[in-house]
Chains A and B, each alone.
Chain A
Amino acid sequence: MQQATRVSAGVNDFAIKLANVNGTGSASANGLLMQSMFRMGLPVSGKNLFPSNIQGLPTWYEIRVNHRGYTARSLDYDLMVAMNSQTYARDVQEVRPEGYLLYDSSWPLDPELLRDDVHFLGVPLAQLCNDAFGDPRERILMKNIAYTGSIAALLDIDIAVVEALLGEKFEKKPALRDSNQKALHLGYDYAKEHFECPLSFHTEPMQANAGKVLVDGNTATALGCLYAGATVAAWYPITPATSVMDAFKEFCEQYRRDPETGRNNYFILQAEDELAAIGMVIGASWNGARAFTSTAGPGISLMNELLGLAYYAEIPAVVIDVQRVGPSTGMPTRTQQGDILECAYASHGDTKHILLFPANPAECFEFALKSFDLAEKFQTPVLMLSDLDIGMNDWVVPRLTWDSSYKPDRGRVFGQEELEKLKKFTRYNLTDELGVAARTLPGVDAKGAYVTRGSGHNKLGAYTETPDEYQEVIDRLLAKHKASADFVPAPLIENREGAQFGVITVGGCDLAVREALDLLEERGIPADSMRIRGFPFDQRVEAFLANHPFCFVVEQNRDAQLRSLLLLETAVPKEKLRSVLVYGGFPLSARHVVEGILSRL
């Protein structure tokens, strides 16, 4: 099986995996490696597979370089850096045949763990660092930088680039910079001296990253919220969404603090829980602010109640859901796409929400901004479903751009001017062609006053228990939701000549699916593809389903949630949709997709 989709390693085409112990400082060393390759112009990805723990549990980092741009997770590791004795046995097994394993040879290797078909590269990292550094903590930290140096030698990574990065990082801490440089060279020199460098697979400078940046999805999301003009943000800490608010706060401190008065043109509320966080967002939006919350599945569960209120009372709300593995607490540091159905219909009664599905940090920026426009335009909650892989890993994406002519779409809000022309204002009957009724904001004019309620109301906004009056409003909400299909990001459709079927996917599956489509085509099995980017589905989705005899739906959850949503919300018959499901918690790889499709063709 392993050979089925293997693209053999070579120049700028390989994958390495680093096995570490959480909390030992390996994350920054591994990031340094990845960033160096980015600076060398290589298509590269780095995936942090970390535990829900502060110190002591196993953690892995995977780097993939591919000159054709395939940077989804690879399952074939050409080089394993085995720095964690707890997972050593497992890590040895994961190296591909004829691959390499770098280990700390300060201690002898357990012969039972050796493999004949793997090259073992021993570097006495602990010994080198013990000899060079005095402080015990420093010795541990510098081991990481030392293996970075060895890898740089083995893969021909431009050592000047690594040095430059260290220089930038420790610009204000020259002592730290010097010890890092020293450790880097310890490992580098040792490898150069003892091994044949570089290995057959290695790096060569490329120009693939002109106009590209390296950023994680949560930072990009926060930036989108900043640029959208969000002024109120409410949240409750939760992995993997916390860094959205961390980044938002940092951006606000830098760009939203009035330099003259020192006053803050933002308000971040750390709520007591997610019930409160969404309540705060709704209160702020009711008052006319752009407001958002960021959370993960457990928070969405709690927010269900008030999402229904916002839906029924027609109040904008932006929710960023950085999905992780459920159900319940699940696996907080693992990725999944398991909140699709919950978000689509969050809350009791007949509710439907607008969903946006970014696939990478660039889309996180774009869709976060879009979420506010849609929430205000349609006066309803908008949920953007990112995930841990997109949100917390650094991705190479096109540089973000800003259209200076952008004007926020504040939706149908009547101010004094419009109110003057009316004999009387009533809340839910002054509708436009999309089914959106004019709203008014508190503090503007007594003529626009009304009572917002989550209880039964008629189109005038008055309390009702009358069937017709109730239905009139709830039916308009459905029409309004349908109308939003033309405004959510359109699906991305790619047709291939001779395609016999379609492949549908969503969000962070994108890169793996695109790679898989190429691999299938190379085997003479071309397929069309469609990446869903918004809900409700528009006509293009409907047409794609109609125009293919059958389609695969590739997603990362057990219950085929996107497939279910397609079955519920389009005319597609059940037998036309086949599932490829990967939901163990690690990012998708092309091999999963190719094998999944081949096994059901």
Chain B
Amino acid sequence: MPSIVKPVATHPSLQRNELGFTVRDYEGGMSTLCAGCGHDSITAAIVRALWELAVPPHMLAKMSGIGCSSKTPAYFVSGAHGFNSAHGRMPAITSGAAAANRTLTYIGVSGDGDSLSIGLGQLCHAIRRNVPMLYVIENNGVYGLTKGQFSASADIDSKSKRGEPNRMAPIDPVTLALNLGATFVARSFSGDKEQLVPILKAAFVHRGFALVDVISPCVTFNDHSSSTKSYLYTRKHKVEATESNFVPKAQEIVAHISPNGHGANVTMHDGSVVRFTSLPANYDPTDRTRVMDYLQQHTGTGEVVTGLLYVNPSVPDMHEMNKTPDIALTEVPFEKLCPGAEVLDKLQEDWR
């Protein structure tokens, strides 16, 4: 393994991570999204997070469904395999991929349409299964790619570009995930890279399903003044419930959670630490009930609650539940998988 190189260069694009890669090495193809689309900012944050974490590009698997958001895996880490699959089916495809090879780092990029309508069932079950992956919902309240219909995350009375109000209650992926037992739940804003990057880093190292809902304005169809998913609205109503940063394993830090009213440290499964520098009074980011209480108190207020809201690194992921070997199943030699002629002969003794 290459040793940790202390960067001397001043230009960020020339800095190298511990694998010797620059941020450029984590970039992908040219984006074809609308200029100003929130999704592009999220892509930039993902690039940054992966570079800082020094994930080997070829050990990343980039999964997505269909939508403007789902196109973005082509725009980061060109050295990683990607799978731009089918609308709403990414969770199952990733579950299967993860079952076959647990040694890869999985990121699934989805949209609010992809995840909360057509793919809602699969999302729920990937959470239940605790598939080890970072699941990003690039949430703009509309179906961007099919030209601006309301999605299931549209708020009541938020208006479409044509002025039509949405009357149905939104599905909130954050409370949904908490209800389903997700082990890492966060919300952020595409316009706040400072908050988003550390959340993504923690989500990447989290063992289990990490849901990050990112408000990501659609400049073409849902950025007008009567929308609750616009840049302006989000900036104005964003409440940073928790503030946290991510401290990689190499840098020693006091372990274990120590809620002191204002901050807390949560040690992740790999030894890295999420350091909460600011928390609301009586808030414990490892206590699901309290987190849900807090969110409950803030629903319907018009506030957009952000931050790494809940994390529980101690729940077994799907591999622990299945007792999968540490190596990828694809690496188990055929000789170990096929019981051979003698066993076949013997087991047929029962077939008479």
Contacts and interface: CB of A to CB of B under 8 A. Distances in A.
B140 interface: no
Contacts of A261: 325
A443 interface: yes
Nearest to B90: A279
A273 B124 CA distance: 12
Interface stretch (A24-32, A128-136, A229-237, A573-581): A229-237
Contact of A232 (B78, B84, B99): B99
Interface size class of B (residues with CB under 8 A): 35 or more
A454 interface: yes
Interface string B83-118: 111100101111111111101100000000000000
A275 interface: yes
A100 B253 CA distance: 86
Contact of A266 (B78, B92, B122, B329): B329
Contact of A291 (B85, B92, B100, B340): B100
Interface stretch (B189-197, B300-308, B330-338): B330-338
A282 B341 contact: no
A267 B132 CA distance: 15
A276 B92 contact: yes
Contacts of A275: 89, 92, 122
A264 B99 CA distance: 11
Q: 10 nearest interchain CB pairs?
A: A283-B96, A279-B92, A280-B96, A446-B79, A289-B100, A283-B97, A276-B92, A451-B82, A442-B81, A283-B93
A284 B339 contact: no
Contacts of A451: 62, 73-74, 81-84
A271 interface: yes
A305 B86 CA distance: 8
B92 A280 contact: yes
A263 B97 contact: no
A276 B125 contact: yes
Nearest to A283: B96
Contacts of A271: 92, 125
B324 interface: yes
Q: Main secondary structure on chain B at its contact with chain A? A: helix
B323 A264 contact: yes
Contacts of B334: 229, 407-408
B337 A265 contact: yes
A406 B343 CA distance: 15
Contact of B330 (A213, A214, A256, A289): A289
B337 A306 contact: no
B330 A287 contact: yes
Contact of B84 (A213, A256, A444, A452): A452
B322 interface: yes
Interface stretch (A332-340, A395-403, A523-531, A534-542): A395-403
Interface stretch (B161-169, B209-217, B344-352): B344-352
A575 to B, nearest CB: 42
A444 B328 CA distance: 12
A272 B97 contact: no
Interface string B114-145: 00000001101100010000000000000000
A569 interface: no
A284 B351 contact: no
B351 A213 contact: yes
Interface string A433-460: 0000000111111101111111100000
B57 interface: yes
B4 interface: no
Interface string B49-71: 00000000111011100100000
A231 B59 contact: no
A65 to B, nearest CB: 17
A262 interface: yes
Contacts of A234: 92, 96
A280 B58 contact: no
Interface in B300-320: none
B324 A264 contact: yes
A281 interface: yes
B255 interface: no
Interface of A: 38-39, 213-215, 223, 226-232, 234, 255-256, 258, 261-267, 269, 271-273, 275-289, 291, 305-306, 309, 399-404, 406-408, 440-446, 448-455, 463
B295 interface: no
Nearest to B98: A283
B82 A450 contact: yes
B344 A227 contact: yes
B80 interface: yes
Contact of B348 (A213, A309, A443): A213
A408 B335 CA distance: 11
A286 B57 contact: no
Given A287-B101, A450-B81, A454-B84, A401 B341 contact: yes
A287 B82 contact: no
A272 B125 contact: yes
B35 to A, nearest CB: 19
Given A226-B339, A283-B97, A289-B330, A263 B92 contact: no
Nearest to B57: A446
A252 B281 CA distance: 51
A135 B337 CA distance: 47
Nearest to B351: A213
B81 to A, nearest CB: 4
Nearest to A288: B330
Contacts of A305: 86, 89
Nearest to B77: A449
A313 to B, nearest CB: 8
Contacts of B97: 283-284, 286-287, 442
A213 B82 CA distance: 47
11 contacts: A226-B337, A230-B337, A231-B329, A232-B100, A234-B96, A263-B323, A264-B322, A269-B95, A284-B99, A309-B89, A443-B103
B344 A283 contact: no
Nearest to A278: B92
A39 B59 CA distance: 56
A404 B100 contact: no
Contacts of A227: 338-339, 344
A407 B95 CA distance: 28
A263 B84 CA distance: 32
Contacts of A403: 341
A364 to B, nearest CB: 13
Contact of B83 (A258, A265, A277, A452): A452
A214 B351 CA distance: 5
A33 B12 CA distance: 80
B348 to A, nearest CB: 5
A243 B158 CA distance: 50
A401 B340 CA distance: 10
Contacts of A215: 348, 351
A384 to B, nearest CB: 19
Contacts of B96: 232, 234, 269, 279-287, 291
Contacts of B86: 279, 305-306, 309, 454
Given A281-B96, A286-B93, A306-B86, A445 B122 contact: no
